[in-house]
């Protein structure tokens, strides 16, 4: 049984469709969404409808939370603020209620999913080093945990110490714990513009990070014609 585990879609429908097609082509029968369905790009309702149509486990991201609440948009970076207020106008009350009611942490089979970190799921901290990973491992009670939020794929393993693994393919070993950042579907930030997600083969105990090409130009054109900041379109070409 193969799970496609993906998040940080950020309203990029072209990237989401490309990932789902790649997952289907690789025999994934189950889907798991790590949150941040909306924000930044131009197709929030469409991406939300697609994810809801999958009827799969989903956890809440920070953009999902802000967009679905009435909190004032202060203290955010200007690009996030502009896209969040634009997205609030696009979503109906039902969409917002769905996003607001998402849980922060869920367990699926032998793994946990959370958007940011397990040590502070609603604090939206970032795991960008093995030291941050160590904090999250302290609250991880399953062998595997999948996260997102940084938009940079990363594999961490905990034995007596915590290490970041350089490979993008992982064979799960008994007695070890793993923290896997699946990267971002709709706005990668590791210098590779291709959409990122992971396939977890439960039977084979193997996790693979996949990168998928998609129609970036079309996603960019939609951002520009929606009146969203040009920078949000530009960054998709360079993957940062
Ligand atoms: Zn995000």
What is the pTM assigned to this prediction?
A: 0.96
Q: What percent of the chain has pLDDT over 90?
A: 94
Tell me the CA–centroid distance for residue 165 and ligand 1, in Å. 22
Tokens for 28?
Answer: 């994934």
- Ligand 1 centroid to Cα of residue 37, in Å, is 8
CA of 160 to the centre of ligand 1 (A): 31
Q: Domains along the chain?
A: 2-238 (3.60.21.10)
3-state secondary structure of 74: coil
How far is residue 197's CA from residue 210's CA, in Å, rounded to a whole number?
6
* Ion ligand 1: residue ranges with CB closer than 5 A: 8, 36
Task: Quick: pLDDT tens for 197-211.
Answer: 999 999 999 999 999
Asked whether residue 8 carries a pLDDT value surpassing 90, the answer given is: yes
Q: Report pLDDT digits (tens) over 164-216.
A: 999 999 999 999 999 999 999 999 999 999 999 999 999 999 999 999 999 99
CA dihedral sign, ordered 163, 166, 168, 170: negative
Tell me what percent of the residues of the chain surpass a pLDDT of 70. Answer: 100
* Reported confidence tier of residue 75, pLDDT bands at 50, 70, 90: confident
Å from CA of 36 to ligand 1 middle: 5
Q: Which residues contact 7 (CB under 8 A, 6 or more apart)?
A: 33, 34, 35, 36, 61, 115, 148, 149, 182, 184, 185, 197
149 Cα to the center of ligand 1, angstroms: 5
What separation in Å is there between the alpha carbon of 175 and the centre of ligand 1?
Answer: 31
9 alpha carbon – ligand 1 mean position (Å): 7
pLDDT digits (tens, 9 = 90+) for 92-131: 999 999 999 999 999 999 999 999 999 999 999 999 999 9
CA torsion angle for 213, 215, 216, 220 (degrees, to 10)? Answer: -160
């Amino acid at each position: 049984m193969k799970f496609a585990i993906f998040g940080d879609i950020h309203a990029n429908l072209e990237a989401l469709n490309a990932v789902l097609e790649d997952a289907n082509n690789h025999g994934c029968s189950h889907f798991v969404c790590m949150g941040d369905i909306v924000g930044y790009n131009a197709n929030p309702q469409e991406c939300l409808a697609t994810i809801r149509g999958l009827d799969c486990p989903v956890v809440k991201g920070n953009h999902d939370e802000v967009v679905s609440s009435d909190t004032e948009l202060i203290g955010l970076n200007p690009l996030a603020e502009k896209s969040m207020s634009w997205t609030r106008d696009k979503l109906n009350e039902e969409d917002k209620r769905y996003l607001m009611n998402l849980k922060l942490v869920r367990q699926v089979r032998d793994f946990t999913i959370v958007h940011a970190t397990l040590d502070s799921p609603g604090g939206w901290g970032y795991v960008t080093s093995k030291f941050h990973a160590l904090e999250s491992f302290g609250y991880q009670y399953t062998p595997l945990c999948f996260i997102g939020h940084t938009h940079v794929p990363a594999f961490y393993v905990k034995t007596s110490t915590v290490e970041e693994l350089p490979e993008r393919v992982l064979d799960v070993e008994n007695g070890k714990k793993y923290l896997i950042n699946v990267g971002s579907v709709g706005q990668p930030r590791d210098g590779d513009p291709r959409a990122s997600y992971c396939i977890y083969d439960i039977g084979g105990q193997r996790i693979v990070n996949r990168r998928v090409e998609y129609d970036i130009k079309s996603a960019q054109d939609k951002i520009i014609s929606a009146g969203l900041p040009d920078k949000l379109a530009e960054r998709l070409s360079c993957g940062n």
